[in-house]
Amino acid sequence: MSQITKSSILKEIEDYCCNPQLITDIQDIPQDLSQDVLSQIPQSWLGLLSLEDVDFTKLRELWQPIIHRVESIINDLEFKLQGLVILIEDNKPPSLLYIFLNDEELFFHRGFPPLKETEIPEKIQSFWPMLPEDFKTLYSIHNGWTSFFAGAMGHKPIDEIELLSSEEWMLEPDVIKDLPIDHTKTIFVFRSGGPGYLAFECIEPEPKPLIFWSNNPTQPDLNIKFWTNFNLWIMTDMESKDFNKSTMDE
């Protein structure tokens, strides 16, 4: 197994970030880091940082508020996660990089700091109170946790949640007419990396989870079990990742 270093990580991400810096342990915080940036880094992240042996007890503590929903994902992380570092870059908040290998090639999941109520965009403010409490709890851990390169395979950052009625989708009138859901009240919260999106139709008395297919928009999968699909999609993505050193040594 090739050694993961700060320079090898920076080499992979430098084309996707503006002035990236990495914090690999608590002694590694740049001297010139502004107090504003420092204040955005959760203290709970600092005890997790490692390029080799992740403290999975502490990682479980981080995810504890929602562990009953994502136990299978955390179990997979214990086998596949190679390390954790903090990424600092211009024009974005600090993020916690979850490091993986796939045939010795580096891949990452990126988690942003917990959501603040003031960060909820106006476009979804009326829908946010309706969403399931467990789903909103995800945002108390990370305001978005997705693959670094594709922005998929996890819950989107709050400012990237889109309505089906947004200009991004540009649905044709004939498609809108045949939709079995209200496109003005349907929000996308998870992108699979393919044509599938986990979404909620935010209607009373409670929002309905669904899978929207961009290649077959008038035939969404309705009445789905949200957490079953959330776990399944992420676990499927992790299947291709290499086992970590701890697992290989057993």
pTM for this model (two decimals): 0.96
pLDDT bin (cut points 50, 70, 90) of residue 28 is confident
Beta bridge partners of 88: 21
Beta-carbon contacts of 10 under 8 Å, excluding residues fewer than 6 positions away, are 20, 22
User: The tokens 């009138």 sit on which residue?
Assistant: 173
Beta strands in the chain (DSSP E): 21-23, 83-88, 95-102, 105-111, 145-147, 162-163, 186-191, 196-201, 208-213, 221-222
pLDDT for res 15: 95
Mean pLDDT to the nearest integer, 117-139? 97
pLDDT for res 248: 66
Here the contacts of 36-43 (C-beta below 8 Å, separation 24 or greater) are 37/88, 37/94, 40/93, 40/94, 40/113, 41/86, 41/94, 41/113, 42/113, 42/114
User: Cis peptide before 207, with omega less than 30 degrees from 0?
Assistant: no
Domain boundaries, the chain: 1-113, 116-241
pLDDT digit string (tens) for 187-223? 999 999 999 999 999 999 999 999 999 999 999 999 9
